[in-house]
Copies of this chain bind each other. A is one copy, B any other.
Amino acid sequence: MTNRSDGRTANQIRDIKIIKDFQKNPLASVLIECGNTRVMCSVSLENKVPGWMKAQDVPGGWVTAEYSMLPSSTHTRTRREVKRGKESGRTMEIQRLIGRSLRAAIDLEKLGPITLNIDCDVIDADGGTRCASITGASVALELAVHRLLENGTLTVNPLKEKIAAISVGIVEGEPLLDLCYVEDSAAQVDMNVIMTESGKFVEIQGTAEEQTFSFDELNAMTKLAKEGIDEIFKLQNEL
């Protein structure tokens, strides 16, 4: 059995703390802490929909996300993406994942002609930043929707279900839940699982890093992920 660097058991997630309204200006914001990973997730309201929705007369509203790592969030400073004039492929990939996942949690037609912009800005990175972003953004989105219901911007609740995300991987042959950075770097297989509270998949992305994986390993990893997701929802519901 693997000895995890922070003493956890294989199926144990890191401590999660969520501070609501960490930032003062957005409609809703959350600081989520998963072990040493910390992400600010905020939701801002825009009273219009993207150009393509307007052009194609798509009814309802939109939810979109942006993700960014602060230069100071990593051990070795990360270069600010604006300096090279465009987002990296990794950033693009992650923010598309966050946006897709949150749109799966909401009935866009019930939103009306508004856009909810979600910003996930990583303060400290120690692995699992995309999963922390999705879990935090889901909490912030719920908070935002409640406020829009309260102030009358929304008249029906568009939220279908809460979602949460967790990483799982195979390290030295053993499936481990919620990888921290050193585990992630050593993983043979790396998987991110996003699920609803009722246990359905929203997105699953598994990647062979050094070694391909079998049907059995896929099953073991998704089962482990489900355990982690259940833990997160337990915590979310105690907030």
Residues on A facing B (Cβ under 8 Å): 22-26, 29, 36, 40, 42, 44, 46, 66, 68, 70-77, 80-82, 85-87, 89-90, 92-93, 95-96, 100, 104, 117, 119, 121, 123-126, 161, 195-196, 199-208, 212-215, 217-218, 222
- Are B213 and A218 in contact, CB atoms less than 8 angstroms apart? no
- Are B70 and A119 in contact, CB atoms less than 8 angstroms apart? yes
Report B-chain residues with C-beta under 8 Å of the C-beta of A85: 82, 85-86
- What is the bound-complex CA distance between A24 and B81, given in angstroms? 21
- Are B72 and A25 in contact, CB atoms less than 8 angstroms apart? yes
- Are B218 and A204 in contact, CB atoms less than 8 angstroms apart? yes
Task: List the number of copies, as a whole number.
Answer: 6
Contact of A212 among B86, B95, B200 (CB under 8 A): B200
Report B-chain residues with C-beta under 8 Å of the C-beta of A119: 70-72, 77, 80
- Are B93 and A89 in contact, CB atoms less than 8 angstroms apart? yes
Q: Which residue of B lies closest to A28 (CB)?
A: B72
State whether A25 and B89 are in contact (beta carbons under 8 Å apart), knowing that A202-B212, A206-B204, A218-B222 are contacts in the complex: no
- Are A72 and B42 in contact, CB atoms less than 8 angstroms apart? yes
Please report whether the interface of chain A is mostly helix, strand, loop or mixed according to DSSP.
mixed
Q: Which residue of B lies closest to A77 (CB)?
A: B44
- What is the bound-complex CA distance between A216 and B89, given in angstroms? 32
Contact of A93 among B22, B29, B40, B92 (CB under 8 A): B92
A58: min CB distance to chain B, Å: 14
Contact of A87 among B36, B72, B74, B82 (CB under 8 A): B82
Q: Which residue of B lies closest to A121 (CB)?
A: B70
A-B contacts, 13 of them at CB < 8 A, read: A25-B72, A25-B125, A71-B119, A72-B121, A80-B82, A104-B208, A199-B215, A200-B213, A201-B212, A201-B213, A201-B215, A203-B207, A205-B205
A212: min CB distance to chain B, Å: 4
Report B-chain residues with C-beta under 8 Å of the C-beta of A161: 212
A195: min CB distance to chain B, Å: 8
A26: min CB distance to chain B, Å: 5
